[in-house]
């Protein structure tokens, strides 16, 4: 019974740190630890990691939580006393989770509300303000309060495309004289000559977002949804789709003005959240059911995915080539580009890379804000630029 209590408490710590460690995994973890025994600390670590982790990017948080909670090897010194968050916690997410678990308020605490933006406070020993640090902080490493603040900031970021000049002209206070409207005004008021002016109209081109919601993309996808919702609230023409093992159109869900209600509707509509990834199948379904409806008028496609695909890479390359032929521009946003040594080794990444116009990172607020500068000035509206990547696949 003591072991079960410790594993339950450990699962609560992981859940507070952002891992999906629910009651079902507690029972599986208890069976796994009983199977390997408590003689070796490494065996317990491996058994719990096999049950509690969804993808390898969670390994660092898990290792820090394990070291903080199970502080001594063997079962004789299993953690039962409160754990100090300053002992071995390299992650601010973990430090916050430890504080919540120690206070015993995990089950009672309401969901964290988005924190109001605070004035910048200069940190000792650095040239950055606290807000500037958060602009460059990885979404995966943020605490719950920081993540809520980042969601609110993402909804206010500028659109990632520049306005396109239209053929038709509109009324303006100054510019070129509109002879037709000037003469029409003179008919109504013959003794008055008030020139009317005109100038070219500009309109933002439509956006089509294909968002990967697999387990490895969970934290990035949820924040990107707030970014899309903010764009749609500003009356931009955005069509949004999620994909994991299937394609789901969530455009109507995100038209809800309230962000919490909009995200709740998305949660209810999407059935394959945090599952596997089948990019080829999703792109094929998009071509079959939606491409002719949404890819007109110079639409830019934002493919948000880490490229870790379970489909056949040859088929993926074929459907990606078709997407590039039908869309005005295809932009691939990949959170894996946050790593300095990133190389396109995965088969899915190599299959997609030749068929995109831009390959850019999307892992923090700075990268999201930089989309406007990276995409808004890329060539003329009628030209297609090839992939802009370095020798290792980096932009």
Domain boundary residue, one of 203, 232, 250: 203
CA nearest to 235, candidates 257, 261, 266, 211: 257
Residue 163 or 103, more confident: 163
pLDDT digits (tens, 9 = 90+) for 201-257: 777 888 999 999 998 898 999 999 999 999 998 877 899 999 999 999 999 999 998
Residue 101 binned pLDDT confidence (cut-offs 50, 70, 90): low
96 and 46 housed in the same domain: yes
Assign 3-class secondary structure to 56-115: HHHHHHHHHHHHHHCCCCCCCCCCCCCCCCCCCCCCHHHHHHHHHHHHCCCCCCCCCCCC
- The answer to whether position 155 is within a domain reads no
- The answer to whether position 137 is within a domain reads no
- The answer to whether position 142 is within a domain reads no
- The answer to whether position 311 is within a domain reads yes
Q: How far apart are CA 362 and CA 143, in angstroms?
A: 18
227 and 353 housed in the same domain: yes
224 and 327 housed in the same domain: yes
Q: 133-155 as b/e, with b when 16 or more CB fall inside 10 Å?
A: ebbebebbbbbbebbbbbbebbb
pLDDT at 261 over 50: yes
199 and 212 housed in the same domain: no
pLDDT digits (tens, 9 = 90+) for 52-92: 887 766 777 788 888 877 764 333 333 443 343 333 344 55
pLDDT mean across residues, the chain:
78
244 and 347 housed in the same domain: yes
Counting the structural domains of the chain, the total is 3
45 and 192 housed in the same domain: no
Beta bridge pairs of residue 169: 200
- The answer to whether position 154 is within a domain reads no
pLDDT at 141 over 60: yes
Q: Are strands 238-243 and 207-212 parallel, antiparallel or unpaired?
A: parallel
Q: How far apart are CA 334 and CA 393, in angstroms?
A: 11
Residue 28 or 332, more confident: 332
- The answer to whether position 63 is within a domain reads yes
pLDDT at 309 over 50: yes
18 and 94 housed in the same domain: yes
Q: What is the pLDDT of residue 92?
A: 59
Percent of the chain with pLDDT over 70: 78
186 and 215 housed in the same domain: no
Q: What is the pLDDT of residue 98?
A: 63
Q: What is the pLDDT of residue 100?
A: 55
Q: What is the pLDDT of residue 78?
A: 38
331 and 216 housed in the same domain: yes
- The answer to whether position 197 is within a domain reads yes
301 and 351 housed in the same domain: yes
Residues in the chain: 395
Q: How far apart are CA 308 and CA 107, in angstroms?
A: 35
179 and 211 housed in the same domain: no
User: In terms of residue numbers, what domain contains 331?
Assistant: 207-376
Q: How far apart are CA 316 and CA 356, in angstroms?
A: 13
98 and 231 housed in the same domain: no
Residue 179 or 385, more confident: 179
Domain boundary residue, one of 77, 103, 129: 103
Assign 3-class secondary structure to the chain: CHHHHHHHHHHHHHHHCCCCCCHHHHHHHHHHHHHHCCCCHHHHHHHHHHHHCCCHHHHHHHHHHHHHHCCCCCCCCCCCCCCCCCCCCCCHHHHHHHHHHHHCCCCCCCCCCCCCCCCCCECCCCCCEHHHHHHCCCHHHCCHHHHHHHHHHHCCCCCCCCCEEEEEEEEECCCEECHHHHHHHHHHCCCCCCCCEEEEEEECCCEEEEEECCHHHHHHHHHHHHHHHHHHHCCCCEEEEEECCCEEECHHHHCCCCHHHHHHHHHHHCCCCCCCCCHHHHHHHHHHHCHHHHCCCCCEEEEECCCCCCCCHHHHHHHHHHHHHHCCEEEEECHHHHCCCCCCCCHHHHHHHHHCCEEECCCCHHHHHCHHHHHHCCCCCCCCCCCECCCCCCC
Q: How far apart are CA 110 and CA 260, in angstroms?
A: 15
The two structure tokens encoding residue 111: 């969901």
- The answer to whether position 316 is within a domain reads yes
């Amino acid at each position: 019974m003591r072991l079960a209590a410790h594993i339950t408490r450990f699962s609560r710590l992981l859940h507070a740190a952002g891992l999906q460690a629910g009651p079902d995994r507690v029972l599986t973890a208890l069976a796994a630890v009983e199977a390997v025994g408590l003689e070796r600390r490494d065996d317990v670590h491996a058994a719990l990691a096999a049950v509690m982790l969804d993808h390898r990017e969670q390994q660092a948080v898990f290792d820090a939580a394990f070291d903080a909670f199970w502080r001594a090897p063997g079962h004789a010194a299993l953690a039962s006393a409160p754990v100090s968050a300053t002992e071995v916690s390299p992650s601010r997410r973990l430090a916050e989770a430890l504080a919540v678990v120690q206070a015993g308020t995990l089950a009672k605490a309401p969901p964290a509300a988005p924190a109001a933006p605070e004035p910048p406070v200069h940190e000792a020993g650095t040239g950055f303000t606290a807000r500037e640090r958060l602009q460059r902080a990885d979404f995966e490493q943020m605490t719950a309060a920081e993540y809520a603040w980042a969601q609110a900031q993402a909804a206010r970021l500028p659109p990632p495309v520049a306005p396109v000049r239209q053929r038709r002209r509109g009324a303006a206070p100054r510019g070129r004289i509109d002879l037709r409207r000037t003469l029409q005004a003179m008919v109504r008021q013959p003794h008055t000559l008030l020139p009317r002016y005109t100038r070219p109209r500009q309109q933002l081109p439509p956006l089509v977002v294909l968002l990967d919601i697999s387990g490895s993309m969970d934290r990035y996808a949820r924040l990107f949804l707030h970014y899309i919702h903010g764009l749609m609230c500003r009356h931009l023409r955005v069509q949004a789709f999620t994909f994991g093992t299937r394609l789901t159109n969530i455009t109507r869900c995100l038209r809800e003005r309230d962000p919490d209600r909009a995200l709740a509707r998305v949660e209810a509509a999407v059935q394959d959240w945090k599952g596997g990834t089948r990019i080829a199948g999703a792109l094929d379904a998009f071509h079959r059911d939606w491409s002719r409806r949404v890819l007109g008028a110079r639409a830019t496609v934002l493919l948000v995915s880490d490229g870790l695909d379970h489909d056949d890479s040859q088929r993926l390359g074929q459907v990606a080539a078709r997407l590039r032929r039908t869309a005005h521009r295809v932009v691939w946003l990949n959170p894996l580009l946050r790593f300095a040594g990133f190389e396109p080794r995965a088969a899915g990444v190599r299959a997609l890379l030749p068929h995109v116009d831009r390959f850019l990172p999307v892992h923090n607020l700075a990268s999201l804000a930089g989309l406007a500068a990276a995409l808004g000035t890329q060539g003329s509206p009628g030209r297609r630029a090839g992939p802009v990547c370095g020798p290792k696949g980096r932009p």
